Amino acid sequence: MLPVTEIRKEILDMGYRSKASHLGSALSLVEILYTLYFKVANYSKDNYQEPTRDKIVLSKGHGSAALYAVLHKKGIISDEAINHYSVNGGILPCHIDMTAAPGFEASAGALGHGIGIAVGLAMAKKMDDLPGHVYTIIGDGEAQEGSVWEAAELASTRHLDNFTVIVDFNEIQASGFSNKIIDQRNLSERFKSFGFTVYDVDGHNIEELEKVLKIPSDKPKAIVAHTIKGKGVKFMEGTVHSHYVRLNDELYAQALAELEDK
Amino acid sequence: MRMVFAQTLTELARTDKDICLVTPDMGYSILDCFEKEFPDRFFNVGIAEQNAVSVAAGLALSGKKPYVYSIIPFVTMRCFEQIRVDVAYMNTNVKLVGVGAGFEYGAAGYTHQGVEDFSVMRCLPNMIVCGAGDNREMEEIVKQSTQIKTPMYMRIGRHNKGIFNHTDNIIVGKASVLEEGEDIALIGVSNMMPDVMDYAKKLKAQGRKPYIISMHTVKPIDKDLILSLVDKGVEINTFEEHTIIGGLGSAVAEVIAESGKAVKFKRYGVPDKFSHYVGNQYYIKEKFGLNFDK
């Protein structure tokens, strides 16, 4: 099984045990987080408490299951924590509580916060002349929050070349198709006009993600990662329903079977 | 009081290199001393209060001590959810500094008045809430804030009535008893301390012996002091240029109500209605019966 498939299986296991929602939001994120944590960022079990390392803020906190699974694979989050996701007496909540387990830069769940926190982290690195890059991942729905653009305008004004925002552009949000609710087909142009170096990539292509993440830029960088909500599980892919679907025995079995077909 | 804040913070920043100042474009001329001396630690992040608070949280997570400075409504309510999550919930070492207590910006209209800040800040876990009654309290609160690692809100007021708190025990979290009394306690905060002094004079002329207390920390409230007054059966009055809902008066009332004992109690403050009055601080306070100098 490919590493990203193992991560997806863990997300489904967590979803099945807890009956928690936001599975589609987590599944679209897998390659983005996997590439960051395993291919790009200077971030490991040994250095995650060091100030000089790279920092990664998952601003779209509802995709937490993907982050938990990746940090578990990284050896930072324990088996016990994963097995106690979103259950009574549990350890890991649906939205990130930074006190719940090691490895998180910030708590998250309210949209449009993490990107500003990430800008603050990048500014602090500049103040102390510290190495390391700060990455944040937002959703395309989240990009509708005004505070995202408050953070973006500050990042470019302050020439934060140590800052990258990745948009998980799965084109679906809680109540429907994003571009019908707020037309964001020009999201790349928006970031360009805010002073970012922008790349549009296939958000499920690890090689492509790795390549653009590693290209140096003298400006803040925005990577618009085009993804599929619910990626990896056919009955969820590209559906609004995948935001809230809860896995019963039958759906769980079907989801696993579809995963294993890949 | 704003200048005392800015000058004290500037002085502290000379030896504490983690102190930094974040403002969503407020503090014109007031913050110049800090900006001039520490341009690399002064961040005007633009008129973007939500981001100012999130950025401050990011700085604090990196070991910095950011102070976010703006007019009260903008630094407490415009960005309330960022304060709730990025500061209080994450317990980041962010200090929020609000200027324009009560009707200080009275003539500017309701949008700029600060009459609900204690209520909204007080309901957040981890948040310390202060309101200096004079420049000496302001200076002490700022000094102590650099040693406090939890979130904190500091309300800055303005009056030209001088110093009232000459005690040597200005400690965040503890009330300052400015004068001992016997039969009534006047507990004030922030802008209302001059009014408390005026009211005390009147009571003394009537033969009463009031305690005069500055409750410069509204949260955590000094329960021990309030309970000691209740034990003595002392009548308690509270004074705040702030809504009577959720601020100092409410905090004191909560302690009295749970003490299991009863004392006479009254809150002086802004009633549960908006001010549509046009005028300066004194004029609007007069409309709400909050001047005690006549």
Per-residue pLDDT of chain A (262 residues; tens, 9 = 90+): 899 999 999 999 999 999 998 999 999 999 999 999 999 999 998 888 888 999 999 999 999 999 999 999 999 999 999 999 999 999 999 999 999 998 999 999 999 999 999 999 999 999 999 999 999 999 999 999 999 999 999 999 999 999 999 999 999 999 999 999 999 999 999 999 999 999 999 999 999 999 999 999 999 999 999 999 999 999 999 999 888 899 999 999 999 999 976 6
Nearest CA in chain B to A157: B45
So what's the pLDDT on residue B25? 96
Q: How far apart are CA A43 and CA A55, in angstroms?
A: 8
Residue whose structure tokens are 């309901």: B123
Domain B2-156: CATH architecture, name and number where available: 3-Layer(aba) Sandwich (3.40)
Cross-chain residue pair A150–B90, CB shorter than 8 Å: no
Say yes or no: domain A3-260 is CATH 2.40.40.20: no
The amino acid occupying position A227 is: T
Distances in Å between the Cα of A38 and the Cα atoms of A31, A64, A67, A106 are 10, 17, 12, 20
**Does the structure show a pLDDT above 80 at B269?**
yes
**Residue bearing tokens 């259950």:** A87
CATH class name, domain B176-287: alpha beta
CA distance B71 to B115: 12
Q: Which residues on B lie below 8 Å from A114 (Cβ)?
A: 54
For residues A198 and A166, the answer to whether their CB atoms sit within 8 Å is no
The secondary element (H helix, E strand) that includes residue A104 is: none
Question: Dmax over Cα atoms in chain A, in whole Å?
Answer: 54
Asked if B53 has any chain A CB less than 8 Å from its own CB, the reply is yes
Tell me what ipTM this predicted complex has: 0.95
Contacts of A153 in chain B (CB under 8 A): 46, 48
> Hey, are the CB atoms on A106 and B90 less than 8 Å from each other?
yes
Question: What's the whole-number average pLDDT of chain B?
Answer: 97
Looking at CA atoms only, how far is residue B82 from chain A in angstroms? 7
B151 to chain A, minimum CA–CA distance in Å? 15
